[in-house]
């Protein structure tokens, strides 16, 4: 009975976005309940559509009949034949008017369509939640993520201070095994670990960047190790090393 209860709950919870399923109770058999849940959704949409359509069609027929009676009471005109065909034309498009221009029709169409798609995708081992909820969840998540990243960027730039030219120090100065360390006031998007830095004098392999606090503000340190052998360069970055500070600056460890 307990398993049946969890399965029935899963039929409802399946409408949740697929991304949140791993965070839900592990006792919910969401994957196995996805196809039946989609089928039930489609059947509910079909039931709403059939009931709503007959009510709408009956109301539409009554309105057409009342309109025809009012037209018959008027004096005869030359275009009476065309007017008489109007109710017939309206009856032909009644279904489309109901499906796409009434709240119950739109709801029925949405449930039937999305429920069928969910059932079919789950049958082929690719279950999904309700598309509308999934889209809303994606939009909210992206907004929150971008807002968080923007706040982090602003906080980092506040620590970095004004944008300034790159600085250069030795690996020994930074306490790491590298020939040089480029100190940048802003992160360099293309400078990923393993990239080859091509200068006019030597080639260097880029190590793992790290943050370092300096009197001038937070800096991103890019370790550079000179290549002693010739290598095939798949991705090279042309760059000229900044000038090394004076010896007394190194001794006092004043950083850029």
Q: What is the DSSP string of 86-121?
A: HHHHHHHTHHHHHHHHSHHHHHHHHHHHHHHHHHHH
What's the pLDDT at 81?
Answer: 54
CA neighbours closer than 13 Å in the CB half-sphere of residue 50 = 5
Burial of residue 111 (number of CB atoms within 10 Å: 0-12, 13-18, 19+): buried
User: In 161-205, which ranges are continuous DSSP H helix?
Assistant: 171-174
Q: Look up tokens 């990923």; give the residue.
A: 192
The three-class DSSP label of residue 245 is coil
Contact by Cβ (8 Å): 60, 93: no
What's the pLDDT at 74?
Answer: 58
What's the pLDDT at 96?
Answer: 86
What's the pLDDT at 87?
Answer: 56
Instruction: List, in order, residues 6 or more apart from 215 with CB less than 8 Å away.
Output: 254, 255
What's the pLDDT at 57?
Answer: 84
- What ranges do the domains of the chain cover? 2-129, 167-252
- The C-alpha atoms of residue 197 and residue 233 are separated, in whole angstroms, by 10
What's the pLDDT at 92?
Answer: 67
Could you read off the pLDDT tens digit of each residue along the chain, which spans 256 residues?
A: 667 888 889 999 999 999 999 998 888 899 889 999 999 999 999 999 999 988 988 887 776 666 665 655 556 555 555 555 555 556 667 888 888 989 999 999 999 999 999 999 999 999 999 999 999 999 999 999 999 999 999 999 999 999 999 999 999 999 999 999 999 999 999 999 999 999 988 999 999 999 999 989 999 999 999 998 766 677 789 999 998 876 544 444 444 4
What are the tens digits of pLDDT across the range 134-145?
A: 999 999 999 999
Cα-based distances in Å from 20 to 24, 115, 173: 7, 19, 47
What's the pLDDT at 83?
Answer: 54
What's the pLDDT at 6?
Answer: 86
């Amino acid at each position: 009975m307990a398993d049946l209860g969890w399965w029935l709950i899963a039929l409802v919870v399946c409408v949740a976005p697929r991304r949140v399923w791993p965070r839900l109770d592990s006792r919910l058999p969401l994957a196995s309940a996805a196809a039946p849940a989609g089928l039930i959704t489609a059947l509910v949409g079909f039931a709403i559509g059939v009931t709503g359509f007959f009510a709408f069609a009956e109301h539409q027929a009554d309105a057409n009949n009342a309109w025809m009676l009012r037209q018959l009471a008027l004096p005869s005109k030359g275009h009476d034949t065309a007017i008489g065909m109007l109710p017939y034309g309206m009856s032909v498009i009644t279904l489309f008017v109901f499906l796409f221009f009434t709240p119950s029709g739109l709801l029925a169409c949405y449930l039937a369509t999305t429920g069928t798609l969910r059932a079919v995708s789950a049958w082929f081992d690719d279950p999904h939640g309700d598309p509308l909820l999934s889209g809303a969840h994606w939009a909210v998540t992206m907004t929150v993520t971008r807002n968080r990243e923007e706040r982090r960027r602003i906080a980092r730039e506040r620590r970095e201070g004004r944008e300034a030219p790159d600085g250069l120090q030795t690996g020994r100065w930074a306490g790491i095994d590298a020939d040089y360390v480029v100190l940048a006031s802003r992160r360099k998007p293309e400078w990923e670990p393993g990239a080859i830095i091509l200068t006019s004098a030597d080639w260097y392999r880029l190590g793992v960047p790290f943050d370092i606090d300096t009197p001038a503000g937070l800096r991103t340190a890019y370790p550079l190790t000179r290549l002693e052998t010739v290598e095939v360069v798949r991705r090279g970055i042309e760059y000229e090393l900044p000038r090394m500070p004076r010896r007394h600056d190194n001794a006092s460890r004043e950083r850029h």
